[in-house]
Amino acid sequence: MNAMTPGGFSARFAGLRDHLPGGRTPWVAALRGAAAEHFAATGLPHRKLEAWRYTDLSPIAQAQFTEALTLAAEHPVLPPMRAPHRAVFVDGRFAAGLSTLPAWCRTLAGDLNAAEGWLGALARDLPVVSLNTMLFEDGLMLDLPAGTDGGALELLSLASHTGRAIAFHPRHLIRLSEGASLTLIETSLGPDGASYLHNPVFEIQVASGATLSHVRIQREGRAGFQLATVLAAVEGGGTYDNFTLNAGARLVRNEIHTALLGPKAACHMNGAQLAGDGQHADTTTYLDHAAPDCASRQTYKTVLAGKSRGVFQGKILVRQVAQRTDGYQMNQALLLSEDAEIDAKPQLEIYADDVKCSHGATVGALDEAQLFYLRARGIPAETARAMLVQAFLTEAIEGVTHPLAQAALAEATEGWWEREAA
């Protein structure tokens, strides 16, 4: 059997379909059934597909992941709670005892019928999303009422030490009504020794005038896999900001699809990828300008050490109606090792004429002159390198303004170079 055939996952679904949440609810069963059919036809994406030419998922296909059967009693040490509210998921299931939810948050499994017409509304025919739809067990269901300032909410995903190769596919539904605002700080953590697959899908709706700042800090264990898909739709005058830090996992694919659907919608997508020995970090963004007068800004930075591979693919689509679009994208990569590889594919597809769109890409090593400058002032080589790496990341990170998010980020990036160099 071909390693990329749907085999394992489809077989799991066949056995579990009646037992999954909503298994006997017609609309959920129909949704899962359609997703299963799609996934059975496509299998996991393979490298012959243009969107996956740089990321090879065969290690996931070979791992034969199964579901976590019980809610793990043991979990890695919980990081201290920063925000007033926190939703904790262990192996993709809600851990009520560890969480404090605000009134506008529920869990998907807890009130699945409330998600009818909402769940899957933004999903498209992506194999990884279909895999999630087919097998999701739980997720956050966040519905922030109009005009509400939700402050900051932490979303924490933990992988436990089960001793088996487990996969979990949380589905998070996030909706901000008119004029609402929220900072969502999402962290995923896992033990270094465990092989697991975290396959979250976010469906995000930002209504007009609403602002969502979504900070994702990916620190999965070094043997873990993360395939994350963010599907966001922004109405007129709304703003969606996404910042993603990829620091962990053996292989991560961070795929973001944002559609700007109303006039004057805005989107900022920034990110940093830090990959060390044995890691593969892929950020792929699709930005769909489907309304006039929208603006988008993207800045992505990748730092590669050891034998690692970094991938950035970013497509900006400007539809014919999207006149007066202002689109900008920059991706830069820093190579610190002879064994590292970077692949970049920025892409513009433009059908409107009154636009201002540009992208830039650079790839290079640390600047020897800068290094020399610092060393000449008595700074040890390793410290100087760490400083320059930190400085390189600044432009992408400085878009994160919420102090709690800044603190979480600082903690995740600090000392990275020292650890990788060691």
Residues that bind another protein in the complex, under the rule CB under 8 A: 50, 320, 323, 333, 335-338, 340-365
| Identity of the residue, 74 or 353, whose beta carbon is nearer to another protein in the bound complex | 353
**Residue with smaller CB distance to another protein, 82 or 324:** 324
Tell me how far, at minimum, the Cβ of 255 lies from another protein, in Å: 18
Smaller CB distance to another protein: residue 147 or 360?
Answer: 360
Min dist CB 333 to another protein, Å, is: 8
Residue 146 backbone dihedrals phi, psi, to 5 degrees = -55, 140
If the CB atoms of residues 164 and 345 are measured against another protein, the closer one turns out to be 345
d(CA 284, CA 113): 32
Give dist(CA 97, CA 64) in Å, integer: 31
CA distance 162 to 165: 8
The token duo for 151 is 């402050």
* Minimum distance of another protein from residue 42's CB (angstroms): 18
Rounded least distance, CB 315 to another protein, Å: 9
- Structure tokens, 6: 């749907």
Closer residue to another protein, CB minimum distance, 78 or 348: 348
Instruction: Decide whether 100 or 323 has the Cβ nearer to another protein.
Output: 323
Which residues have C-beta within 8 Å of that of residue 15, sequence separation ≥ 6?
none
Angle at 233 between CA 229 and CA 234, to 5 degrees: 135
Closer Cβ to another protein, 94 or 286, answer by number: 286
Nearest to 42 by CA among 15, 9, 4, 16: 4
Q: Report, in Å, the least distance between residue 53 CB and another protein.
A: 9
Contact predicate 224/254, CB 8 Å: no
Kindly write down the DSSP assignment for every residue of 354-388, as one continuous string.
S-EEEEEEEEEE--HHHHHHHHHTT--HHHHHHHH
Q: Do the Cβ atoms of 393 and 301 come closer than 8 Å?
A: yes
Name the minimum Å distance from CB 317 to another protein.
9
Of 6 and 346, which has the nearer Cβ to another protein?
346
> CB of 204 within 8 A of CB of 212?
yes
Closest CB 279 distance from another protein, rounded Å:
16
Task: Tell which residue, 235, 136, 226, has the closest CA to residue 177.
Answer: 235
| Residue 325 near residue 358, CB atoms below 8 Å | no
Closest approach of another protein to the CB of residue 282, in Å: 14
